């Protein structure tokens, strides 16, 4: 309706004096797609469908992740993109109507406030959901472990200068509906190609040196299978969704009676010399942050870069990930005391 009102404001050429044959409507989109301008000659027929199609095409090309202050999941960004790709939800608002000779310039600008409001509502819903104990969501994942045996300062922050995020959808136990599973790790929001370091001494037991990204179509087909069975199969999770990864075995020396394993996923590069069997020291650089294994990685862009980090604990009682089954407050208290910056 708004587009129709603006289209209706476009005047026709004056009847007096000679007039040139209308050359048709032209349009221009800024590189970042924040602005879309239409250049309409006097007398030209301004088709509202043309205006809607041009704005829709622009909306489909927007990188919505640049409006978010913390890294979020592809599924959230995809929801934002899908919402604003529909005609009734286009993220543009009229900005100006000016005249330049015999041409009318009609400009639309990106409505950042509306995008921010919708993104905030999604984040709020995610936080509400992920505050629920994972045990209540999936009894099979319930843990009786308090993790009190893990000493303070056990782990060095894996991304220099980047603390673990406090948002509940980026730490363990958050639902992952896009793959019908539960988040086992911590997503450190770090720039693409920034350094990753070993959180503790260990031995490399997996290094995907010859990693090759799958196509987005193949990735989506696997996620459809996960949805049908209501869980994330281990082969899809560890060999596709992890992307390029490094696993470190910290042995049983850090915590008596426990074997600790670190998982670094979504990497863009593995450092020279990091091969299976190699011993690494706490703080040693093992690779770089990326987005491999994600939908953006499969599409070949650099959006949504972050390090997915997991700490797996094994003992006679079985295997579990750090913080498994804990509610938000005890989980963040645990992470607060485990990670140190230096």
Question: Tokens in use for 45?
Answer: 């027929």
Lowest model confidence (mean pLDDT) among 34-48, 56-70, 142-156: 56-70
- DSSP secondary structure string, 28-55? EE-TTSSEEEEEEETT----HHHHHHHH
CB 267 within 8 A of CB 245: yes
Lowest model confidence (mean pLDDT) among 74-83, 206-215, 231-240, 276-285: 74-83
Higher pLDDT, 93 or 139: 93
C-alpha torsion 316→317→319→321, nearest 10 = -120
Residue 182: pLDDT over 60? yes
Q: What share of the chain is helix, strand, coil (3-state, %, to 5)?
A: 30, 25, 45
Taking alpha carbons only, the member of 133, 131, 135 closest to residue 123 is: 131
CB 9 within 8 A of CB 28: no
pLDDT, tens only, 64-114:
766 665 445 555 667 787 888 877 788 898 888 888 888 888 899 988 878
H or E stretch covering 113: helix 112-130
What is the rounded CA–CA span in Å between residue 332 and residue 311?
A: 15
Identity of the highest mean pLDDT range in 37-41, 99-103, 159-163, 174-178: 159-163
Instruction: Give me the pLDDT at residue 167, please.
Output: 86
Instruction: Give me the pLDDT at residue 121, please.
Output: 65
CATH 2.70.70.10 range(s) for the chain read 138-340
CB 70 within 8 A of CB 167: yes
Higher pLDDT, 180 or 321: 321
pLDDT, tens only, 4-33:
444 444 444 333 333 333 457 888 888 888
Question: Tokens in use for 181?
Answer: 């599973």
What is the rounded CA–CA span in Å between residue 150 and residue 246?
A: 22
Taking alpha carbons only, the member of 66, 162, 60 closest to residue 116 is: 66
| Portion of the chain with pLDDT greater than 70, in percent | 82
Pairing of strands 155-156, 339-340: parallel
Residue 196: pLDDT over 70? yes
| 197: β partners | 285
pLDDT, tens only, 251-274:
998 999 999 999 999 999 999 999
What is the rounded CA–CA span in Å between residue 296 and residue 72?
A: 12
Q: What are phi and psi of 162, to 5 degrees?
A: -120, 115
CATH code of the domain occupying 138-340? 2.70.70.10
At 205, the pLDDT band (50, 70, 90 cuts) reads very high
CB 182 within 8 A of CB 134: yes
Cα 222 from chain centroid? 19
Q: Which residue has the tokens 């994972």?
A: 134
pLDDT, tens only, 100-124:
888 888 899 988 878 877 776 665 4
């Amino acid at each position: 309706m708004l587009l129709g009102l603006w289209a209706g404001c476009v005047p026709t050429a004056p009847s007096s004096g000679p007039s040139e044959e209308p050359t048709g409507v032209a349009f221009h989109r800024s590189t970042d797609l924040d602005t879309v301008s239409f250049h309409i000659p006097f007398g030209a027929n301004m088709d509202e469908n043309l205006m809607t199609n041009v704005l829709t095409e622009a909306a489909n090309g927007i990188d919505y992740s640049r409006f978010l202050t913390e890294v979020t999941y592809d599924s959230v960004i995809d929801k934002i993109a899908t919402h604003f790709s529909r005609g009734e939800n286009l993220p543009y608002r009229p900005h100006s109507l000016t005249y330049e000779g015999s041409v009318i310039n009609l400009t639309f600008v990106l409505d950042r406030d509306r995008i921010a409001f919708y993104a905030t509502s999604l984040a709020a819903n995610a936080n509400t959901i992920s505050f629920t104990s994972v045990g209540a969501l999936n009894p099979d994942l319930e843990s009786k472990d308090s993790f009190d045996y893990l000493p303070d300062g056990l782990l060095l922050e894996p991304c220099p200068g980047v603390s673990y995020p406090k948002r509940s959808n980026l730490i363990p136990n958050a639902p992952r509906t896009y793959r019908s599973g539960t988040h086992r790790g911590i997503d450190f929001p770090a720039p693409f190609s920034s350094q990753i370091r070993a959180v503790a001494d260990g031995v490399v037991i997996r290094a995907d040196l010859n990693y090759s990204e799958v196509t987005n179509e193949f990735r989506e087909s696997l996620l459809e299978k996960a949805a049908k069975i209501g869980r994330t199969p281990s082969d899809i999770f560890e060999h596709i969704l992890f992307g390029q990864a490094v696993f470190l075995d910290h042995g049983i020396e850090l915590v008596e009676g426990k074997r600790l394993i670190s998982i670094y996923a979504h990497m863009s590069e593995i450092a020279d010399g990091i091969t299976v069997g190699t011993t690494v020291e706490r703080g040693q650089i093992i690779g770089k942050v990326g987005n491999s294994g994600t939908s953006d990685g499969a599409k070949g862009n650099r959006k949504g870069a972050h390090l997915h980090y997991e700490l797996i604990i094994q003992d006679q009682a079985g295997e579990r990930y750090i913080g498994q089954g804990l509610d938000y407050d005890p989980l963040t208290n645990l992470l607060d005391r485990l990670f140190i910056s230096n």
